Amino acid sequence: MRQYELVERVSSYNKDVNEALLNKAYVYAMQKHGTQLRASGDPYFSHPLEVAAILTEMKLDEETIAVALLHDTIEDTDATRKEIDDKFGERIGALVEGLTKIKRLELVSKKAEQGENLRRLLLAVSDDIRVLLVKLADRLHNMRTLNHVKIEKRARIAQETMEIYAPLAGRMGMQSMRDELEELAFSHINPETHETITKHLEELAEKNKNLISQITSELSQKLEQSKIPADVSSRRKRPFSVSRKMEKKELAFEQLSDIYGFRIIVESVEDCYRALGLVHTTWSFVPGRIKDYISTPKQNGYKSIHTTVIGPKRQRVELQIRTRKMHEIAEYGVAAHALYKDLGDGAVGISNEIDAYATLRKTIEQLAHSTSPEEFLEHTKLELFLDQVFCFTPKGRIIALPHGATPIDFAYAVHTDVGNSCVGCKINGQLMPVITELQNGDEVEIIRSKSQTPPSAWESVVVTGKARAAIRRSTREAVRLQYSSLGARILERGFEREGKVFEREDIKEILPKLARQSIEDVLTDVGRGELPSLDVIQALYPNYLEERAATRKPPKEEGWFGLKTGAGLLFKIPGLRRRGQKVKSGAGGLMGSIPIRGIKGDLPVRFSPSGGAVPGDRIVGILEPGKGITIYPAKSAELRKFKGQTDRWIDVQWDIVPENAERFPATIKLSAVNEPGALATIADTIASNESNIQNMVMSAKSNDFTQMVIDLEVWDLSHLERIIKQLAKKSAVSKIIRIIE
**pLDDT value of position 689:** 87
**Which is it for the CA torsion 88, 94, 96, 101, positive or negative?**
positive
Band (47; pLDDT cuts 50, 70, 90)? very high
Of 726, 718, 720, 671, nearest to 691 (Cα)?
720
* Contact indicator for 685, 576 with CB cutoff of 8 Å: no
Q: How far apart are CA 70 and CA 89, in angstroms?
A: 13
Which H helix or E strand runs over 343? strand 340-344
CB atoms within 10 A of CB 557: 6
Ranked by mean pLDDT, the top range of 318-327, 394-403, 492-501, 591-600 is 318-327
Q: How far apart are CA 735 and CA 527, in angstroms?
A: 11
Strands 388-392 and 347-350: unpaired
Q: Which of 5-19, 209-223, 503-517, 609-623 has the lowest mean pLDDT?
A: 609-623
Please name the amino acid found at residue 184.
L
Task: Report in angstroms the alpha-carbon separations of 323 from 319, 332, 387, 520.
Answer: 13, 14, 24, 55
**pLDDT value of position 555:** 45
Return contacts of 176-183, CB within 8 angstroms, 24+ apart: 176/331, 176/332, 177/136, 177/140, 177/333, 179/238, 179/240, 179/241, 180/140, 180/143, 181/136, 181/139, 181/140, 181/143, 182/238, 182/240, 182/241, 183/238, 183/239, 183/240
**Which is it for the CA torsion 63, 69, 70, 72, positive or negative?**
positive
Q: pLDDT tens digit string along 417-444?
A: 999 999 999 998 899 999 999 987 788 9
**pLDDT value of position 353:** 47
Kindly state the average pLDDT of the residues 493-521.
85
Q: How far apart are CA 533 and CA 500, in angstroms?
A: 13
Q: pLDDT tens digit string along 570-582?
A: 333 233 222 332 3
Rg (alpha carbons) of the chain, rounded to whole number: 31
DSSP string, 233-272: EEEE--HHHHHHHHHHHT--GGG---SEEEEEEESSHHHH
Strands 605-607 and 628-633: parallel
Whether pLDDT at 477 is above 60: yes
Please name the amino acid found at residue 452.
Q
Contacts of 234 (CB under 8 A, 6+ apart): 212, 215, 216, 260, 261, 262, 263
List the catalytic residues.
75-76
Band (601; pLDDT cuts 50, 70, 90)? very low
Task: Give me the chain's average pLDDT, please.
Answer: 78
Angle at 438 between CA 318 and CA 462, to 5 degrees: 120
592 or 717: which leads in pLDDT: 717
Q: How far apart are CA 727 and CA 714, in angstroms?
A: 15
171 or 286: which leads in pLDDT: 286
For the chain, percent of residues with pLDDT exceeding 90: 23
Q: How far apart are CA 216 and CA 201, in angstroms?
A: 19
- List alpha helices for 1-89, DSSP H: 3-11, 19-33, 46-57, 62-70, 73-76, 81-88
Q: Which of 17-31, 400-414, 445-459, 582-596 has the lowest mean pLDDT?
A: 582-596
Task: Report in angstroms the alpha-carbon separations of 295 from 356, 410, 549.
Answer: 16, 22, 68
Task: Report in angstroms the alpha-carbon separations of 143 from 53, 58, 166.
Answer: 15, 18, 11
Q: How far apart are CA 657 and CA 22, in angstroms?
A: 88
**pLDDT value of position 361:** 59
**pLDDT value of position 678:** 86
Q: pLDDT tens digit string along 533-587?
A: 888 888 888 877 666 666 655 544 433 333 333 333 233 323 322 233 232 333 3
Domains of the chain in start order, with CATH, are 3-188 (1.10.3210.10), 192-334 (3.30.460.10), 562-582+663-739 (3.30.70.260), 602-651 (no CATH)
Q: How far apart are CA 19 and CA 24, in angstroms?
A: 9
Task: Report in angstroms the alpha-carbon separations of 376 from 99, 112, 284, 359, 403.
Answer: 18, 9, 48, 17, 20
Whether pLDDT at 393 is above 80: yes
Q: pLDDT tens digit string along 618-659?
A: 888 887 765 667 888 888 888 888 876 666 777 777 776 665
Contacts of 85 (CB under 8 A, 6+ apart): 92, 93
532 or 102: which leads in pLDDT: 532
What secondary structure letter does DSSP report for 172? T
**pLDDT value of position 362:** 58
Band (48; pLDDT cuts 50, 70, 90)? very high
Secondary structure string (H, E, C) spanning 461-514: CCCCHHHHHHHHHHHHHHHHHHHHHHHHHHHHHHHHHCCCCCCHHHHHHHHHHH
